[in-house]
Amino acid sequence: MPHVSGFLEKVLYSNVIIAIASTLYTLEYYITFDKPWNRPFLLFVFSISLAHYNLHRLVGLVLDQPIPYNERLKAIEKNVFLQSFFFLAGTLIALYLFLSHDWYKEVIFYIPILLGLLYTIPILTVRLRDIPFLKTFFIGLTWMAVSVVIPHYIDHLPQNAFWLYAFEKFAFIVAITLPFDLRDVQRDLHTHTKTIANQFGYRTVMEWSAVFFLLSQFCHDQLFFTGVYDKFAALSLM
């Protein structure tokens, strides 16, 4: 990877950007359906994302050693303390919100949390990300659950085109996540994880990514035609 400044490197490898992205992805749901923002839940999404992605990197450094050397992994190793701090901070904030708002009584909250933990932590030596060809789809399902299904459930938001909206978000996440498997080819081969990238190559990955992107855009257009998106939202999202 290109050389970046120490500060920028810390920002990139603290997973703050991913946590912000997941929060905005969820915020979009409230804006689209013109509903009051559930600020505690948005903070929960930010903190749980911060905790999970940093935990994922920390677990990976332990389980996947010796990792084939590259600049990206070297940068992750250099920022272990920062990642540990954000993991603990995110976990404590998420736990406080989870308990103080009685979300622990809602079964639906446990689905994405369980998916995230099983994706990262091995159960009987197997992580969900190790199941052949499925890790990208687990990521899409988790983001869809957090950013669409849960806010729909806890805030009783409208039913109009709900599943079409949810599938649009799932397809888009899959489309932009598939190419990351190209970056991780050597690491996935090292951990014996079969992905579309290391089994079928660059062309197939990009074809699958294009298919899911087109699916998301098809849903996007249908949401516009059914009145879920206005002209401004439709253009800005495109």
Which pTM value belongs to this model?
A: 0.83
Whether 3 shows a pLDDT value over 70: the answer reads: no
Mean local confidence (pLDDT), 16-44: 91
> What percentage of the chain carries pLDDT values higher than 90?
30
* Mean pLDDT computed over 134-147: 88
Tell me what pLDDT residue 1 has. Answer: 47
* Tokens standing for residue 184: 């991780």
pLDDT grade, residue 106 (50/70/90)? Answer: confident
Mean pLDDT of the chain: 82
Average pLDDT on 78-95 reads 89
Average pLDDT over residues 198-205: 82
Cα distance between the two ends of the chain: 29
What is the full DSSP assignment across 113-159? HHHHHHHHS-BTTB-GGGSTTTHHHHHHHHHHIIIIIHHHHHHT---
